[in-house]
Amino acid sequence: MRFGIERFMQKNIIDLRQEDEETIERLRDTPSSALGSSRHKLKDDDLPRILEVLKEFNIRYFLMIGGNDTMDTIHRVEDRCAKGGYEIVCIGIPKTVDNDLFGTDHAPGFPTAARFTALSVKQGGILARDMQKVDQFVIYQSIGRDAGWLAASSAAAKEKESDAPHLIIIPERPLNKENFLKMVKKCYDDYGFVSIVCGEGIVWEDGTHVSASVIKDKFGNIEFGAMGGTSAAMILHKIITSEFGWRGEFQITESLPMCCADRMTEVDRREAYLVGAQGVKLVVEGKSGVMVTLERKSNHPYLCQTGTVPLKDVAVKRKPMPDGYISDDGFFVTSKFIDYIRPLIGEMPRYVELRAKAVTK
């Protein structure tokens, strides 16, 4: 399929056998999604057309790569084929940087995006530390609509208490403005600057989005960042500036973590291939109606193997961060989360800091 189920209905189907061997091999180190993607919300009216194209090309193995909505699509396609008496084997392959797919320890794409986030916040935090007489705070906004996995991953490169990030705000913990400002002031008093990481979909205690965006996409989801015309980071920036009169920056990466091939982790490279290969094996065996999963067996040493979960249990569902991964005050992560994330992102660089010993007469 070229550009997902949306263009499949237009018979936009390519033959990968016509690609040369080197191209296929180098796909493993090429950013983005070579086959293309779409944001088409599958309608019941689409299903007869999909079945028609499947029959026309005699397609009997049907695999789709993606997140929650993709799993819903392939589940519904399988159900429609069964009702129409068309024999087909359907398999879901997990892939989402948000890491909110139900039933799998993590999703391919997440480890690399997590490393991108951790390095960006660490490096941005060093700059903020050294520029604290110019800018007193910095806010980094990560993608992740309903779950804080990526925002939380920013803590993975932290070595000492004063390192960035100081505060992590995630959708799983509604934000209280007064508590937030108290924590900001405490961090400033303790470290001389404040490094804040927030998820794009964070909410206030009344359930409204901090971003104040009201624009929705085809799936009925609130649009964040550029598409929404506003952002949580921008609103938090205004709140801090208004309260303390400080100068600061906010950074919104949008889709950059989705295509950062230069920061690809070896675990991610290996497991993305692994789940794809396992998907092919399952369809050949006639196993249908499942998504391939990653099941972690050990952290030290890191050991993960494939499994399966029924598509009906994954479709449209979201996997939030477990309570045990979130600090009691809701503004950081626990050691359990650090144990979870570190094997995925690989060894992090270590940077030096001047002792800054004053000259004496």
Token code pair at residue 279: 């998907």
Give DSSP secondary structure letters for 4-37: HHHHHTTT----GGGS-HHHHHHGGG--S-TT--
Are the CB atoms for 92 and 76 separated by under 8 Å?
Answer: no
Q: Which CATH class is domain 112-261+321-345?
A: alpha beta
* Residue 221: CA count within 13 A, CB half-sphere: 15
pLDDT at 16: 95
223 vs 137, residue with greater confidence: 137
Confidence of residue 216 (pLDDT cuts 50, 70, 90): low
**By three-state DSSP, how is residue 339 classified?**
helix
Q: Which of 75, 68, 102 is nearest to 91 (CA)?
A: 75
Task: State the number of CA atoms in the 13 A half-sphere of 158 facing the CB.
Answer: 26
Fold of the CATH domain 4-107+264-314: Rossmann fold (3.40.50)
Burial tier of 328 (Cβ tally within 10 Å: 0-12, 13-18, 19+): exposed
Predicted confidence (pLDDT) at residue 3 exceeds the cutoff of 60: yes
What's the CA gap between 65 and 63, in Å, rounded?
A: 7
CA dist 112 and 107 (Å) reads 10
Catalytic residue among 46, 98, 146, 163: 98
- What is the rounded distance in angstroms from the CA atom of residue 137 to the CA atom of residue 131? 9
> What pLDDT is attached to residue 144?
87
From 262, 324, 261, 271, select the one nearest 294 (Cα to Cα).
271
Position 226 confidence tier, pLDDT thresholds 50, 70, 90: low
3-class secondary structure, 39:
coil
Which pLDDT band, with edges at 50, 70 and 90, does 224 fall under?
Answer: low
User: How would residue 229 be classed by pLDDT, with cut points 50, 70 and 90?
Assistant: low
pLDDT number for residue 39:
85
Closest of 318, 280, 277, 316 to residue 90, by C-alpha: 280
Question: What is the tens place of the pLDDT at every residue in 232-241?
Answer: 999 999 999 9
The pLDDT, as a whole number, for residue 315 is 86
DSSP code for 320: P
* Cβ(317)–Cβ(100) below 8 Å: no
The whole-angstrom distance between residue 168's C-alpha and the CA centroid of its chain comes to 16
Which of 344, 349, 321 lies closest to 333, judged by CA? 321
pLDDT range class, residue 222, cuts 50, 70, 90:
low
Is pLDDT at 297 greater than 60 in this prediction? yes
Residue 15: its pLDDT value, please? 96
Kindly tell me if the per-residue pLDDT of 279 is higher than 80: yes
The mean pLDDT value for 49-58 works out to: 97
The residues, any chain, with a CB within 8 Å of residue 129's CB and separated by 6 or more, are 162, 164, 191, 192, 193
Quote the mean pLDDT of the chain: 94
Residue partners of 352: CB distance under 8 A and separation at least 6: none
Q: Report pLDDT for 101.
A: 95
pLDDT of residue 219: 58
Residues of the chain with CATH 3.40.50.460: 112-261+321-345
Per-residue pLDDT at 316 exceeds 90: no
Report residue 225's pLDDT band, with 50, 70 and 90 as the boundaries: low
Q: What percent of the chain has pLDDT over 70?
A: 95
pLDDT 10s digits, 322-333: 999 999 999 999
Mean pLDDT across 298-315 = 95
Determine contact, residues 289/130, Cβ cutoff 8 Å: no
Could you tell me the pTM of the whole model?
0.93
Q: What are phi and psi of 250, to 5 degrees?
A: -135, 145
Residue 98 is among the residues annotated as catalytic for this protein: yes
pLDDT at 54: 98
21-39 pLDDT, tens per residue?
999 999 999 999 999 999 8
Q: Is the pLDDT of residue 119 over 70?
A: yes
Residue 265 CB-half CA count within 13 A: 27
Could you give the percent of the chain with pLDDT greater than 90? 89
Q: What's the pLDDT at 361?
A: 85
pLDDT on residue 215: 57
Q: Where are the domain boundaries for CATH 3.40.50.450 in the chain? A: 4-107+264-314
